[in-house]
Structure 1
Amino acid sequence: MEFISDWLLEYEMNPTVVKYLSTIIMIFFIAIICIIANFITKKIVIRIISHIVKKSKYQWDNMLLDRKVFHRVSHIVPAIIIYNFSTTFDYFKYWIEKGAIAYLIIVGLMIINSLLNAMIDIYQTYEISKTRPIKGYVQVVKIIVITLGIIMIIANLMGESPLILLSGIGALSAVLMLVFKDSLLGLVAGIQLSSNDMVRVGDWIQMPKYGADGDVIDISLNTVQVQNWDKTITMIPSYALISDSFINWRGMQASGGRRIKRSLFIDTNSITFCTEEMVERFKNIHHLTDYMTKREQEIDEYNTKNEINRSNPVNGRALTNIGVFRAYVGNYLQKHSGINQEMTLMVRQLAPTENGLPLEIYAFSNDIRWAIYESVQADIFDHLFAVAPEFGLRLFQNPSGNDLRTVMNESKTEIERGH
């Protein structure tokens, strides 16, 4: 500053003008130095670092580069230059130094934030991140660091020790707890979710209260993001997964089988004993040949042993079309390529209802993918709906308008014939 002032005074300029003009020139000089330093840092140093990182065989340094950690560090250089030149401005030295320090603290917070984000990215490359997410904990660290940074900035501008401001936080604890209530609840929930392994990224969960039905794509401090099957995103508060109930389908996904639990409703009026003609016809069905031979032999032996009079079909034991059909369905499922034979498989009757007799299929597909599961299930019931009449069984369904119209037309025809 003195050199510039002496140089201007050589031109016999007014001392007051020299004072202001030298200050302006000095400001421009400092600005040019900052621009040059920033240019060298970003265009040369950062490019060299980027080249080295991209050539490296490690992945973690690429994530530091993607999160712009090195770019944030480059902002420190201009702040240091301004701080060192603050002594040239007598009247503004104090505020320049305070401003430069505040800027350095802000840049430091930005660097720490980028480092923490990069740390999350690096952690997510490991398999353990699916079972032990740390995003919530990192967000807590961010809150603490930012809070301390704000306190340091305020203490720096006030010219006081940060410890003085920290001592007053106790009086504000109630206010802080109110402000950060969701974050505190989320932190506790995150610890419980992680320690109890209740939910992971990638799990399929259902939570009707929040309209969530899909895959968990992110677990953070305050929210759990669920991508529903219609590709919408549902945000669930983390603590809601602790306080409310939800369904996690991870067990099904890990088991390798997806449950099929659906019923055919049989019209009870179509259930009857098998005639000899029906028995002979059923023997020619591929899935029933061995069953019919074995059952017929067992029944004949029982009836003969107990001297049952078979002139009346009510006496003794006899095959029924519903029993044979149930055996057929069981054998059909055992031979089906889409059914997991290592898991529970049964065909059972449920309690009769006003809609008929429910014949329930309880089995597991051997592929948990939704589209394939639905295809296997549809394939099974397509076949069963089509084959049921071959056993003399009628499937129940409520009468439609077409059914009523057919009955009315038949009645009208009979009446006309009667006349």
Structure 2
Amino acid sequence: MLDSVVSLSDFLSECISGLFESSDLPPLVLELIDFSIRLSIIIVISLLVFWITRRLLLHYGIKLISKTKNIYDDYLVDRRVLHRISHLIPALVIFHLATLLLDIYPIGGRIIHSIAVIYVVGVAYFTVSGLLNVLEDIYNTRPYSTSRPIKSYVQLLKIILFCITAILLIAYLFNVKVTGIFTGLGAMAAVLMLIFKDSILGFVASIQLSVNKMVRVGDWISMPGYNADGDVLEITLNTVKVQNWDKTITTIPTYALVSSPFMNWRGMHESGGRRIKRSINIDMRSVRFCTPEMLEKYKLIHHLKDYIVEREAEIERFNKEHNIDSSVKVNGRRMTNLGVFRKYMENYCRRHPLLNQDMTMLIRHLQPTEKGLPIEVYTFSASTKWADYEGVQADIFDHILAVIPEFDLKVFQEPSGADLQDAISGLGSILIKEN
């Protein structure tokens, strides 16, 4: 095949040269005409090969891939690997034909040959890069890909591939040895480390993140230092993309996740419960011992009936054993409305269908302040979804605010405009009566 092309090229050159022999053209012009003929043959053949290659690969190849049940070969189309290969074969044809047909023209042949080499190496680089993307896409279909992403490793391979491609092209174009280039790079090591500092740090950090399972795609992380609070979208060699809850995107250097503190909420999702930790302030002036009438009223509450009966029997038995004079309230043991309320809230939470009963559940006092006595609800919702969690939390405290008056307790609230207005009105009424 190649011999036929060479013979055709020589034949056409001789024919056309014969036509111009009688025209007394300078030899340089005749050489340019011959060079143009040979170059035209190379271009025509390469275009023909390019058309055939694209026809086979893109038309029939894509049609064949679409008919297969295997989804992995679809990534070859999505990543345009076949499109890049269709450029590779014509480039190789130009490379070989330039060697055969233009060897008698050192300068022109060298230029065309160099262009062909650059084109072949460039197309090969983009083809291999596309294959790396295909491997990453195939890997991402596996269930463990979210916990062990390889995007940073693929990016590192692309950087190495680019460096190798650049070194090969420089060695070819400037006719120097590859070892000589590496010697020069060794002398520039400090400069290169400065240039690729982020990539080196990011690569080391990505390995640490992957090995230690510190963060993965889909995790909810909070990093106040970078104003990041949301889901991890992507982990690359240099950056980690986080979509915040307001739908903005925050970009964090990969190495910052190793060198700086951050909070990963993955444990909360995996545990199956999200913590509710909120308190409500009770006016301490409303706390008192329970009277028999109050206890009878509390016995009518479904969550308290058994508790009140058992507690009354326990206190009565204790007071009798210790000869307590019950006529004085401070003697012995007594129930308080706040204690009964805490037990009510505990039983209420224990029977709440949307709370996780296998996790810690407390109704506890916090340190009293000038704003009252905080009663904290410490429990976990059964759902980790944000909307469900907020709904359960709001439902619990809606209920607390509604039932507190039933226990003769008051919620502490700082005086507002309405309170001051009522106080002034009441004071005005008193002054009018006195006058």
- The residue number in structure 2 matching 1:5 is 13
Structure 2 SS opposite 1:287: coil
Alignment of 1:355-374 (within 5 A): 355-374=371-390
Q: Are 2:274 and 2:384, in contact at CA under 8 Å, matched by a contact in 1?
A: yes
Does 397-406 or 147-156 show the bigger shift?
A: 397-406
Alignment of 1:318-397 (within 5 A): 318-397=334-413
- The residue number in structure 1 matching 2:236 is 220
Offset, 1:37 = 1.8
Matches of 1:123 and 1:112, distance apart in 2: 16
Q: Are 1:5 and 1:18, in contact at CA under 8 Å, matched by a contact in 2?
A: no
Matched, 1:43 2:51: no
State the TM-score, normalizing by the size of structure 1.
0.96
- Note the alpha carbon deviations across 1:31-86, whole angstroms, 9 max, x for none: 33222222221133322221222222222211122111121111112212222332
- The residue number in structure 1 matching 2:124 is 108
The residue type equivalent to 1:228 in the other structure is N
Matches of 1:45 and 1:121, distance apart in 2: 21
Selected match of 1:233 from 227, 238, 249: 249
State the TM-score, normalizing by the size of structure 2.
0.93
Matched, 1:88 2:101: yes
Q: Are 2:57 and 2:86, in contact at CA under 8 Å, matched by a contact in 1?
A: no
The residue type equivalent to 2:262 in the other structure is F
Selected match of 2:282 from 266, 277, 284: 266
Offset, 1:262 = 0.5
Offset, 1:102 = 1.6
Matched, 1:75 2:87: yes
- Note the alpha carbon deviations across 1:285-340, whole angstroms, 9 max, x for none: 11111111111111122222222222221111111100000000000001111111
Offset, 1:25 = 4.3
Matches of 2:256 and 2:30, distance apart in 1: 69
Matches of 1:347 and 1:393, distance apart in 2: 16
Identify unmatched segments of 5+ residues in structure 1: none
Structure 2 SS opposite 1:218: strand
Matches of 1:355 and 1:43, distance apart in 2: 81
Structure 1 SS opposite 2:73: helix
Selected match of 1:152 from 151, 157, 168: 168
The residue type equivalent to 1:246 in the other structure is F
Structure 1 SS opposite 2:334: coil
- Note the alpha carbon deviations across 1:115-152, whole angstroms, 9 max, x for none: 11111111111122122211112211111111111011
Structure 2 SS opposite 1:281: helix
Q: Are 1:102 and 1:156, in contact at CA under 8 Å, matched by a contact in 2?
A: no
Alignment of 1:278-317 (within 5 A): 278-317=294-333
Runs of 4+ in 1 over 6 A off after TM superposition: none
The residue type equivalent to 1:301 in the other structure is R
Structure 1 SS opposite 2:54: helix
Matches of 1:42 and 1:270, distance apart in 2: 86
Matches of 1:211 and 1:320, distance apart in 2: 47
- The residue number in structure 1 matching 2:205 is 189
Q: Are 1:264 and 1:358, in contact at CA under 8 Å, matched by a contact in 2?
A: yes
The residue type equivalent to 2:364 in the other structure is R
Matched, 1:403 2:416: no
Matches of 1:63 and 1:416, distance apart in 2: 88
Offset, 1:194 = 1.1
- Note the alpha carbon deviations across 1:351-397, whole angstroms, 9 max, x for none: 11111111110100000000000000000100010100110000011
Matches of 1:270 and 1:316, distance apart in 2: 21
| Number of corresponding residues | 419
Matched, 1:65 2:77: yes
The residue type equivalent to 1:262 in the other structure is R
The residue type equivalent to 2:92 in the other structure is I
Matches of 1:393 and 1:104, distance apart in 2: 84
Offset, 1:181 = 0.3
Does 182-191 or 46-55 show the bigger shift?
A: 46-55
- The residue number in structure 1 matching 2:6 is none
Matches of 1:94 and 1:301, distance apart in 2: 110
Structure 1 SS opposite 2:180: helix
Matches of 1:36 and 1:378, distance apart in 2: 72
Matches of 2:65 and 2:288, distance apart in 1: 79
- Note the alpha carbon deviations across 1:174-203, whole angstroms, 9 max, x for none: 111010000011111111111111111111
Structure 1 SS opposite 2:126: helix
- The residue number in structure 2 matching 1:98 is 114
- The residue number in structure 2 matching 1:414 is 430
Matches of 2:44 and 2:113, distance apart in 1: 19
Does 92-101 or 332-341 show the bigger shift?
A: 92-101
Structure 2 SS opposite 1:79: helix
